[in-house]
Amino acid sequence: MMKIKFYSTIVLLLAACCITMAQHKSKLKPGELSPDFKYEDSKGKVHSLSELRGKYVLIDFWASYCQPCKEELPCWKELIRKFKKEKIAFVTISIDYSREDWLEALKKEKLESLNLIIDNKDISFVIAYCVETIPRYVLLDKEGKIINLYMPRPSDPQMLKILQSLKCSS
């Protein structure tokens, strides 16, 4: 049953992405203002992208069932430790179908980022970024403008170099 729900969610995301792309005939580009989101954290508090203005924002689209996503988490945590004193917000946005699975993964992984879930209520942010595969990383500047739509994975040394090049000191 879970596999059917999972595949249904993926098909819906891909279909919505294709429809959106066809309607707009363009996708987001570096330099453009990112669309906002309103997603819940593990305690049910709603967060938005706009509340993170003044910080660079590194977004990780992921899911608890995604093996490559889980393999990147140790490097994600290391980046958070390295940039703890910098003005960078690390945000995970889960596309998990099951809130319970997501909560269990958060408990197990002890992620120190802002961890949010789309909870299949509003997938417009994921559609805007046309997230077709996960993990997927996006970098925004302090004003919420897109710097990089396809950041390297945290395990790639390029990710560290890009973050070190930012002028993000407190």
C-alpha pair distances (Å), 111 with each of 26, 91, 101, 103, 104: 34, 10, 15, 11, 12
The region that residue 25 occupies, defined by phi over 0 for left and psi between -120 and 50 for alpha, beta otherwise, is: left
Distance, CA of 81 to CA of 77 (rounded, Å): 6
At 147-169, the pLDDT tens digits run: 999 999 999 999 999 999 997 65
pLDDT tops 70 at residue 79: yes
Across the chain, the runs of DSSP E, i.e. the strands, are 38-40, 46-48, 56-62, 88-94, 114-117, 136-140, 146-148
pTM: 0.83
pLDDT at residue number 122: 83
pLDDT at residue number 120: 74
pLDDT at residue number 22: 40
